[in-house]
Amino acid sequence: MIVSIVSPVYKAENIVDELVSRLENVLNSMQVDYEIILVDDCSPDSSWLKIVANSKRNNKVRGIKLSRNFGQHHAITAGLDASIGNWVVVMDCDLQDRPEEIVSLYTKAITGYDIVFGRRVIRQDKWIKRMSSLLFYKAFAYLSGVPQDGTIANFGIYSRKVITAINTMREPMRAFAPMAKWVGFTRTAIDVQHAERFEGTTSYNWSKLINLALDISIAYSEKPLRLAVKAGLTISLLAFLYALYNVFAYMLGWIQVSGYASIIISIWFFSGLIIFILGILGLYIGKIFDSVKGRPLYLVDETI
């Protein structure tokens, strides 16, 4: 039995040693063969040097360095492609996903589940990050039409057939957790302890979070397009009713002076609506353009 650990690494030069050490202790206590795959997403610090040092010390530590920063979920894909384990654990490198919880995930998985998610009941994040995450999952659930659990992220254990299924999905818009849910198979979730970040701050700023939310919503739902159609029909109906009102008002002599303000407001409102709808269409067309180019999801610069 081989357990693969896949963790994307970015700006974690002071975390890698602690991460590997705790993983080694946990996996040795489980008495399973294992591999630790650390994917350096072209980190600007010395993360790769730390990965190389740990790999030379323990040949079960494998390093993959990407040629540029492709993003967290593309880095996870690189690790999944390289993994050979019967079970694969996906976790962040910042140690908020505690390595010690792998024992509970594995114990639950071998009772008959292909996927066991780690449910972060009490998150050790700042209030603003928790609120932004909550809003994101509520919006995503509404747009996708699929219930979402904001306490579940990437951290979990996945059987080989689940990873094989996910690896067949080569669309450029990557989001590991929704992909793991989409493939199906028997799954459950268990409560895990969420830790504070070991060192540093998250690399996800508001711009990256918004872009990720847009990518996931567009990749997994056509509801924005349906909402645009409904908005257009609703406004057209309201405009028709308003036109009928104006005809009757004119015939009854209620209109004394033509309104300048209402015309300007209408122009700005409908212009903004048209631009908004065109923007939604443009996002979908742009993602189609990215897909048809058929470029690789990532490029590897170096492995160890």
Quickly state the pLDDT bin for 191 (edges 50, 70, 90): confident
C-alpha distance from residue 276 to each of 65, 75, 213, 247, 282 (Å):
39, 32, 17, 30, 10
**pTM reported for the whole predicted model:** 0.72
CA–CA separation, 205 vs 215, rounded Å?
A: 15
Closest CA to 178 of 168, 166, 160: 166
What's the pLDDT tens digit per position in 77-98?
A: 999 999 999 999 999 888 888 8
Quickly state the pLDDT bin for 161 (edges 50, 70, 90): very high
CA–CA separation, 205 vs 222, rounded Å?
A: 26
The CATH architecture to which 2-203+296-303 belongs is: Alpha-Beta Complex (3.90)
